[in-house]
Amino acid sequence: MNPFLINTYIAPEYFCDREIETKTLISTIHNQGNTAFFAQRRLGKTALIQHTFYLLRKKKAICIYLDIYATLSLKDLTNQLANAIYKEFPITKTIGKRFMEAIKVLRPVISIDELSGSPELTLDITQTKQFEKTIPQLLQFLDEQNVKVVIAIDEFQQILNYPEKNIEAILRTAIQQLKNVNFIFCGSNQHLMHQIFRSGKSPFYASTKNINLQKIDRTLYSNFIKKHFEHHKFKVTQESIDLILDLTHGHTYYTQLLCHEIFANGIKTIRSQTILLALGIILLDNQGTYFQYRNLLTAAQWNLLKAIAKEEKISQPYAQDFIYKYRLGNAASVKRSIESLLEKEMIYHNISEAMPYYEVYDKFLMRWLQRT
């Protein structure tokens, strides 16, 4: 089995570090608190939740995971929560029976999802007022079952896009009254997550423990990579591992994917050639997407993206020498392009270091742009 997992969580063995974050999450839950964290895309937010759930389930906690990225309204959120509870507690068990009894008045409809083939529950309610009451009722129901329940809401910033404007207040009030249910809120949009959890005006202000999720420590990641390759009789030097981590900037998803590909290629002595070959295969696989990006951006945006890729990190994109070197026109047009690329999540403004900088969000796209 390929030990470098992408898009799945199997067991702690294949999960690198995150010990402090996991401890904080678990101890906050044990102390009846809620946690919130933000991190840039593909750094390992969802995997951290899955890892924490794996450990919590061993201690018999009920863990409910909601990814609300695709939800558009309070109604969607309500149905997703109801459906998740329905799936967690089979109707054959006591709590499942009680749940169906409790929601009978909301006229639950069970249908088979066309994509997954599994039964899905939806509530037949149409009035917004009714929905405002339903989430508190569902949470109250969970709270009364005398089991420890943890609910993780992934891509939580999505609630800010709902047409209803008082969601945060409704949720905050409902959550405050619970004794057995705790929450993990997580999101990938720094600006919006701060708006929810760090703004003095928000109902959630100062109500959660916050985690600062950064890149995995380089030494720990090195050891993890070495251990898994060597376990499968690969020969890998520190120099090769450094090259891998340099190419991916140590960003989790890209590191996992590159190692996955190197492993899959099966060449047992890992040299820089082997690594670059694997990278080349990945870039070729993604080339179609990269061309699509180019078609979706204006020439000015594309040129700026390429310039940022070539610099890898750029602190002062409005500086004359940068603009001149890549023939980017003037500072005003660079500013417009930066805003648009940020909005499209093509670049990321990293403010976690003393000297903030812009970088291409997707590390493989960055490598591809550097080659053109």
Ligand X SMILES: Nc1ncnc2c1ncn2[C@@H]1O[C@H](COP(=O)(O)OP(=O)(O)OP(=O)(O)O)[C@@H](O)[C@H]1O
Task: Note the residues at the interface with Mg ion (CB under 5 A).
Answer: 45-46
Detail the DSSP E strand segments found in 93-158.
Answer: 108-112, 119-123, 149-154
Q: Tell me phi and psi for residue 356, to 5 degrees.
A: -60, 150
Q: Which of 25, 29, 36, 39 binds ligand X (CB under 6 A)?
A: 39
Stretch that binds ligand X, among 76-84, 138-146, 250-258, 348-356 (CB under 6 A): 250-258
Q: In the beta sheet, which residues pair with residue 212? A: 38
* Nearest approach, Cβ of residue 46 and ligand X (Å): 3
Residue 47 binds which entry of Mg ion, ligand X, none, CB below 5-8 Å type-dependent: ligand X
Given 42, 75, 215, 306, the residue binding ligand X (CB under 6 A)? 42
Relative to beta strand 235-236, strand 347-350 is unpaired
- CA dist 42 and 45 (Å) reads 7
Interaction of residue 253 with ligand X, rule CB under 6 A = yes
| Of 6 and 284, CB closest to Mg ion | 6
State yes or no: residue 256 binds ligand X (CB under 6 A). Answer: yes
**How many Å apart are CA 127 and CA 132, to the nearest integer?**
9
Q: Which residue in this structure is represented by tokens 């295969």?
A: 281
From Mg ion, ligand X, none, interface partner of 43 (C-beta below 5 to 8 A by class): ligand X
Residue placing its CB nearer to ligand X in the complex, 68 or 328: 68
Best CA proximity match to 270, nearest among 282, 258, 284, 281: 258
Give the one entry of Mg ion, ligand X, none that residue 181 binds, where binding means its C-beta sits below a cut-off of 5 to 8 angstroms depending on kind.
none
- Which does residue 372 touch among Mg ion, ligand X, none (CB within 5 to 8 A, set by kind)? none
In the complex with ligand X, the residue whose CB is nearer, 283 or 331, is 283
Tell me: does residue 211 bind ligand X (CB under 6 A): no
CB of 152 within 8 A of CB of 34?
no
Nearer residue to ligand X within complex by CB, 323 or 360: 360
Closest CB to ligand X belongs to which residue?
44
Query: Which residues ranging from 278 to 307 are in contact with ligand X (CB under 6 A)?
Result: none
Binding of residue 5 to ligand X (CB under 6 A) = yes
Residue with tokens 């891509």: 155
Residues in a beta bridge with 359: 348
Token reading at 238? 């520190």
Q: Candidates 79, 134, 188, 248: give the one binding ligand X (CB under 6 A).
A: 188
**Which one among 44, 108, 250, 317 touches ligand X, defined by CB under 6 A?**
44
Q: Please identify, using beta-carbon distances, which residue of 67 and 120 lies nearer to Mg ion.
A: 67
Residues between 8 and 27 that touch ligand X (CB under 6 A): 15-18
> How far is Cα 301 from Cα 232, in angstroms, rounded to an integer?
44
- With CB under 5 to 8 Å by kind, the binding choice for 363 among Mg ion, ligand X, none is none
Q: Given candidates 23, 30, 41, 107, which one binds ligand X under the rule CB under 6 A? A: 41
Alpha carbon distance 155, 231 (integer Å): 36
Bridge partners, residue 210, by sequence? 36
Phi, psi of 4 (to 5 degrees): -95, 95
Choose the stretch contacting ligand X; rule: CB under 6 A; options: 34-42, 71-79, 269-277, 310-318.
Answer: 34-42
Rounded Cα gap, residues 268 and 203, in angstroms: 55
Distance CA 140, CA 179 (A): 9
CA angle 83, 176, 79 (to 5 degrees): 15
Contact residues for ligand X, defined by CB under 6 A: 5-7, 15-18, 39, 41-47, 188, 216, 252-253, 256
